[in-house]
Amino acid sequence: MRQAWFVAAALLLAGCSSLSPANYVSPRVTGRVVDAQTHQPLPGVMVKRLTSDTTTAQPAMTGGGHLLQNASAVRTGKDGLFVVPSMRALGPLGGTGWSSVSLAFDLRGYETLTRSYNLAQSTNTLSVEPLVEAGEVPLIQMVR
């Protein structure tokens, strides 16, 4: 009986891909938002991860799994820096990985900008978390 429990637990753990790097459904994205003309940092910019079928920050469920992190929009700090956290899928099947991520940058008085980043533009951290370093993201001020 004890041996059957051990085998069942081992099979469950082997089938669960929550420790696999493939279960990331979106990378962590870092960068700095600046004014396109002055190159000064822009605080308070709303940075939202977009799904493929909507323009909201609500991520789609992947493979029936639940997301470990369901990050809503983040705002840039005084220095214009932002960090959009990565997202992982939980469940016995894990996620299907990711190939691209789109972000929307929105600040009153500036044109909304949408940027996409793909797998080739990413690296992995030591903990195997995918990371996209977006660098400077310039926003264009609206003409009044």
Q: How confident is the model at residue 45 (pLDDT cuts 50, 70, 90)?
A: very high
For the chain, the structural domain boundaries read 2-137
pTM: 0.70
* Beta-bridge partner residues of 67: 89
Token output for 136? 């400077």
pLDDT digits over 68-122, tens only?
Answer: 444 568 999 999 999 999 888 765 555 556 788 899 999 999 999 999 998 888 7
- For 2-137, CATH gives 2.60.40.10
Q: What is the pLDDT of residue 116?
A: 92
Mean pLDDT of the chain: 77
- The angle subtended at Cα 81 by Cα 76 and Cα 86, nearest 5°, is 85
- 3-state secondary structure (DSSP) of residue 119: helix
Mean pLDDT of 53-74: 48
pLDDT of 21 reads 47
Q: Answer for the pair 65, 95: CB distance below 8 angstroms, yes or no.
A: yes
Select the highest-mean-pLDDT range: 28-32, 71-75, 123-127.
Answer: 28-32
Nearest to 41 by CA among 80, 83, 81, 82: 80
Residue 95's identity, in one-letter code, is: G
Q: How far apart are CA 31 and CA 124, in angstroms?
A: 16
Query: Do 16 and 26 meet the contact criterion of CB atoms below 8 Å apart?
Result: no
Q: How confident is the model at residue 58 (pLDDT cuts 50, 70, 90)?
A: very low
Any idea which residue has 């009153």 for tokens? 108
Portion of the chain with pLDDT greater than 90, in percent? 42
